[in-house]
Structure 1
Amino acid sequence: MKIRLPSDLSARAESPPWDAALELLRAELDDLKQAKLAASPPFNYFQPKSLREDIFEMPNEDILTVKELAEYLKIAEKTAYRFASEGKVPGFKVGSAWRFRKSEIDRWIAEQEQKQEGEQK
């Protein structure tokens, strides 16, 4: 839909048809917004992450935060932070924040299990 503006804007600005044109523009804008919303696929933020098709899904080599590490190991966040600070778990810092490669944590868990088996014998 093409909108034609009158050549003499000053004369038309005071007349009621200008208000009608403005209302038509607003209605067209609302229609465009509705069409854009209707065209975009719905995204359910409450759907479990495993069922969503995330665009930014990371590869198998996940990087964990302290909170995620604590959840993964089922320990308190303070304990996970202390382990990282003391060098008990493999990790690295990004600025002042600790990060952990899931593959290295899995390897560390296997080493801990082997140590415990060796101590029990």
Structure 2
Amino acid sequence: MSRDKNKKLEKFDQEIAGIRVELHKLPVTEEDFLSSKKSIERLEIQAEKQQQLLLKYVEGMMMEISTLQATMKRIKIDRKTITVKEDENSNDRSKIKNVGSDPDSCLFGADRYLQIHKSTDSKKKLLNSKKN
């Protein structure tokens, strides 16, 4: 029996020695945990900063897009205005071309001019009355 007791006591002593070794490791483990905690906190702060930078970048892109859209609208309006002005000018030109292409109207105008300026005063009055 004393052998059994001695074996049990040795087992207990070994377990106690193992527990003491583990107890000596606790401060190192605690330091590791604290170091990990600090690293996680730093990573968290860094992630927040990166998120803020990303948000600023996205806001900048949105501002640029809205500016480009406004510019494009102005360009479209300017193009429409230019097109309308060109259409008005082409309409005026087409009227001139139409009148200019009719040889009778040109001859009639020249004939009328010559009649008025070469005639006497009495004939001028007569021609002017026919005109009205």
| Higher RCO (C-alpha 8 Å, min separation 6) | 1
Kindly name which structure, 1 or 2, has the bigger radius of gyration based on alpha carbons: 2
Q: Which structure dedicates a bigger proportion of its chain to strand?
A: 1
Q: Which structure dedicates a bigger proportion of its chain to helix?
A: 2
What TM-score results when the alignment is normalised by the length of structure 2? 0.30
What TM-score results when the alignment is normalised by the length of structure 1? 0.32
